[in-house]
Each structure stands twice: as structure tokens, then as C-alpha cells.
Chains A and B, each alone.
Chain A
């Protein structure tokens, strides 16, 4: 599963938003239940993810 899918499905225990520009965020997820982590880079407008720029597989 891609990290952006885990984000949409709320399948994570920890979520970190690291701002790289004023509109782009790297969101890192940790899923303790499955022992997996991953991150994706997204464009964010008013708190909403509007475009996925990079997407890792949760592993």
C-alpha cells in the first residue's frame, strides 16, 4: 500500500508533517499495528492534500 493510501484510509498511528515550502509537505506515517512506515510528498492548500508529488510504499 502506498503511503498516500494509508493516509486516506487512516491506517497509521503517527503522522508527521514536515513543511519543505509554504505549500509542500512531506507526510511521514508510522503504522504500529503492521510495523510499517512510509512517506509521501504532497501539495497542501488550506490543510487539504490537493496533489501527490511523491509516494512511497509502506514497508
Chain B
């Protein structure tokens, strides 16, 4: 037999110097407008529900310690954050990972690379990690001063050695660089190679770098 509970509505107004109010609500439909005005507030909210309509949080305070939001959902409509504060740090993912010390740069140098020759650097992504490459660049200079007015054609590419797959290409005269709008992803335990090729008709000093972060 299904037990039905009556609907329940009550205005709660608490005035006190020290108030503790644990609330456990189990219902099919809940609407809780809450207006808190206090000197000090700690608010832990744990919501487990099939569907969450809207969560609106408006905080006005001289100082906010930490706001931690952990969202796990199949779909998320919009996440709108409007912050007005004296000092707030909001970072893009790559910037944040650099701040956290997860940046990873891979470079290769060959001071005398003969015409048609190549050099590479290689990196194997650790188990449980993923390498997100956000930039690629190279430069090419003639070794001999006699060749420095000529074309300094170079080519650089990223290659997934484990899966035999090209990831990115870049060519140019003297050098070039690119930032990837969407990072190039290298999965755990895959070996990525950064290779420079000297396509000039003379010996060249070549350098290349790819950058990103490992998390």
C-alpha cells in the first residue's frame, strides 16, 4: 500500500546569534526560496535528483573563501557565472594547468642538420595521463653565413609513433608557429615524436617546440 503524505508549506524565520539548521527533505517536488543574511555562513548543499531545474546562487559578500562546484550530469543546459569582485582569478584550461605545474614542453635542436635530414625528440605519455598539445613552432637558419640570404625551408610535424598517425604538420621559410584551437590529444602510454626536417639546400640549424599540458 502506497503511503501518501500531505502537502506541507511553512514559513521559517529564525533570528538568533548562533543557528544550526540541518535539513533533510525527501519529496517529489521541492521549492525552497532561501534568503540568508548573516555575519558568517557555511552552506553545504548536496543534491541528488533525477532532474535539477535551475540553481540560482547570488552571493554578495566582502570576502568569499572558496566556492567548489562539482557537476556530474548527462546534459548541462547553461552554466552562467557572473562575478563581481575585487580580485578573482579565472583561467582557461591551459593557463590553469600551467599555473598548477602541469605544463609540458618538448623541444628538439640540431645545430647542423644537412639538407634532407631530420631530427626528433620523443615523449611517452605516462600511464593514467593525457598529453594535450596546444602549440607547435619551429625555426630554421643557415649554418653558413653565405646561405643566409637563401630560403630557409623547414618542416616540422607531430607523429604518434605508437599508432603510426600524423597529429600535426607545419612548414615555412625560416620558421613558423601555430596554436591549436582544440588541443592535440595524445593518450596515456602513447609515444609522440616531434620531428624537424631540413628542406633547404644547405646545412641548417633547426629548432622546434611543442607545448601543452599533461593531466
A32 touches B101 (CB 8 A): yes
B105 touches A33 (CB 8 A): no
Chain B neighbourhood of A14, CB < 8 A: 103-107
Q: How large is the interface on A (under 10, 10 to 19, 20 to 34, 35 or more residues)?
A: 10 to 19
- How many Å from the CB of B163 to the closest CB on chain A? 14
- Interface set of B (CB-CB < 8 Å, partner A): 101, 103-111, 119-123, 126, 161, 191, 193, 214
B191 touches A47 (CB 8 A): yes
Which applies to chain B's interface (DSSP): helix, strand, loop or mixed?
strand
A18 touches B161 (CB 8 A): no
- Interface set of A (CB-CB < 8 Å, partner B): 10, 13-19, 32-33, 47
Chain B neighbourhood of A47, CB < 8 A: 120, 122, 161, 191, 193
Could you give 8 example pairs across A and B, Cβ below 8 Å?
A10-B214, A14-B104, A15-B104, A17-B109, A17-B120, A19-B110, A19-B119, A47-B161
- Indicate the member of B121, B123, B191 with the most A CB atoms within 10 Å: B121
Whole-angstrom CA separation of A14 from B105 in the bound complex? 4
Partner of A19, one of B101, B109, B161: B109
Chain B neighbourhood of A19, CB < 8 A: 108-110, 119
With CB as the reference atom, state the residue of chain B lying closest to A7. Answer: B123
Given contacts A32-B101, A33-B101, A47-B161, contact A16 B126 (CB under 8 A): no
Partner of A10, one of B105, B110, B122, B126: B126
A17 touches B107 (CB 8 A): yes
Given contacts A10-B126, A47-B161, contact A16 B121 (CB under 8 A): yes
